Structure 1
């Protein structure tokens, strides 16, 4: 069982900027005048980490949402390659949890399904058990409240499940865990 829940196979159309490198990669041994600026970003659908080249004279802001789909792009000239977590700059790694939480919050309906439609993976393991910060106690509370009716929003979830705070950060932490660990057994949000 590789993809358990909501990983998307669609091409990324939008990314969020994690870091801007005006002088390119630090391991590029060419003289500074030959280096091109780079952007490290993460896709919004499948959370693919990627390296982009901005158009000449364009300087993106950290957390900025950029279009990389088909057609005219304002800031991005082209996508260079897919990155591994270990290839991110320290600044990008620092911004990643914040950007992931923003993506989850901005797509609340999609990610609310995690709490509304999660299911057992095995007889002893439930999808909710895979989330950092949700132990057996919270998983049981979520499942009990869910029987009374689906959660309408993250706010509704935190009101009905006492002690559960920032459900978007819980999901963001799971996504980050999947990005960090290439050998994670159950991928809920990312693609290998």
Structure 2
């Protein structure tokens, strides 16, 4: 995993800036690798749409003037908060292999608690079922997890909800947001 995100997915674009800071044309976005929430200042003629990918890495940024700041979930506009669900859904779907790897490699986070139990809707019973199935064979996909552990909540939605909870600051341990 990279230290800094090189790409963000746009959650909202404020063409006239924030109501109390009308200087900058900013886009609020989420980093593709670390799920960092950022505001970036757009170049003059750029008007990005929700879900659009922007390059923010080193060197020439054709559409982004500069990264303004890292932001918290509460700094997101209402539109950005609404868009987040859909953008996360797309990100998680695109990175299914990485999240399935989490299900294959997750370990206890404390002597009494497994990483699985930090996922919304996953308790001791589901954790044991996941561990039993994983012992037989690695999971291949979200669909494979659902078929082999039918009682588990939808793994894709569970991951999305966990990432959103981490972004909101509602969790003590971070599994996905860096």
TM-score, normalised with respect to structure 2: 0.92
Q: Distance in 2 between matches of 1:27 and 1:140?
A: 51
SS of 2:113's partner is coil
Confirm or deny: 8 A CA contact 2:121 2:153 kept in the other structure.
no
Structure 2: any 5+ residue segments left out of the alignment? none
1:10 and 2:3 aligned: yes
2:73 maps to 85
Match of 1:24 among 2, 17, 26: 17
1:126-155 deviation line (CA, Å, top 9, x unaligned): 100001122222222211111111011112
TM-score, normalised with respect to structure 1: 0.86
Which structure carries more strand by proportion?
2
Question: After superposition, where does 1:9-88 map in structure 2 within 5 Å?
Answer: 10-28=3-21, 35-88=23-76
SS of 1:79's partner is strand
Q: Distance in 2 between matches of 1:61 and 1:107?
A: 22
Q: How many residues align?
A: 178
1:106 maps to 94
Q: Distance in 2 between matches of 1:161 and 1:50?
A: 36
RMSD: 1.7
Higher RCO (C-alpha under 8 Å, 6+ residues apart): 1
1:190 and 2:144 aligned: no
Structure 1: any 5+ residue segments left out of the alignment? 1-7
SS of 2:174's partner is coil
